[in-house]
Amino acid sequence: MLNEIVGKLSTGSEVINGTDLDDYIRPLGGSDYIDGKKGFDTVYVFWPASKFKLTTTQGTTYLDAVSGASRSDKLVLRNVEAVEFSDKVVSLEIADRYINTPSKDNFDGGPGIDTVVYDKAISNYVITPGVNGMDVGSANYSEGTDWLLNIERLQFADKGLAFDLDGRAGVAAKTLSLVFGTDAVNVPAYVGICLDYLDNKQFSAAQLMHEALKIRLGSDAGNPEKVVSFVYERLTGVLPVQSEKDKYVGWIASGAYTADSLAVFASELTLNPITPQLTGLATTGLAFQMPG
């Protein structure tokens, strides 16, 4: 359910702060600054998209009225994933790619999977997580220290780090852990394969799980009973008794789940062995090497 937030002023300036829920924000007009915070946030605009100029710079989106709408209507959006105009919805989830320079850089990615690229191996840098963003500096002080906010990926010459453990990187880690074990999560090449499916091939979590189960179970990946037994044992260490197996196979037979989506559901449980490590990985980053 969306969390609806309505502005208070129809003229002048107003600051509207969202929540960590999925917010649906309705400004009333004027010149407003909106920070959606966490969650998938949508801002509603009464006018059609053609009446506004939309630009995004360094993670901040600017909407300026150009015709029809009041010339005083202006929105500055942070951490907002979509704008719903009267005629269409425009996604703001842009995958930005920033290139590090020798000087001190400040990068704020905003919504989307954003990457900062460094031209040396990871051992040449010191990464310091903070409450708001992170610092990345040269280990030998030959370059300025960068400040990064809302950046999900760091790409170095030898490997990358993914910090979106509440997003696609988390899906990769949970899938690998459930199907192949926690050791697989520590293999950058395996993580890279998963992220390639999720980022570049636009796979869903269920589609990624399907590929993983095919590798692990072969032809049994299409057998609900085999999948249920495998997943249950991975989570609990023992095979399910017949009544338990029948219950979960029944979920698949009823259409409530597919074998793949049931395995995704299982991967989200705290019984998944990787769960205790996710908070730490969100701070240190999950190492990956993209295929090819």
Q: pLDDT digit string (tens) for 177-227?
A: 999 999 999 999 999 999 999 999 999 999 999 999 999 999 999 999 999
pLDDT of residue 155: 97
Band the pLDDT of 67: cuts 50, 70, 90: low
d(CA 201, CA 253): 29
Is there a contact between 231 and 225 (Cβ–Cβ < 8 Å)?
no
Is there a contact between 81 and 92 (Cβ–Cβ < 8 Å)?
yes
pLDDT of residue 49: 85
Give residue limits of the domains in the chain. 3-91, 97-158, 168-288
Which has the higher per-residue pLDDT, 224 or 130?
224
Question: Of all residues in the chain, what percent carry a pLDDT higher than 90?
Answer: 68
Q: pLDDT digit string (tens) for 6-52?
A: 988 877 789 999 999 999 999 988 889 999 998 889 999 988 888 88
Lookup: tokens for 122 = 């990871």
Q: pLDDT digit string (tens) for 136-150?
A: 999 999 889 999 988
Q: How many C-beta neighbours within 10 Å does residue 230 have?
A: 22
Domain 168-288 has CATH 1.25.40: no
* Winning range, highest mean pLDDT, from 39-53, 87-101, 262-276: 262-276
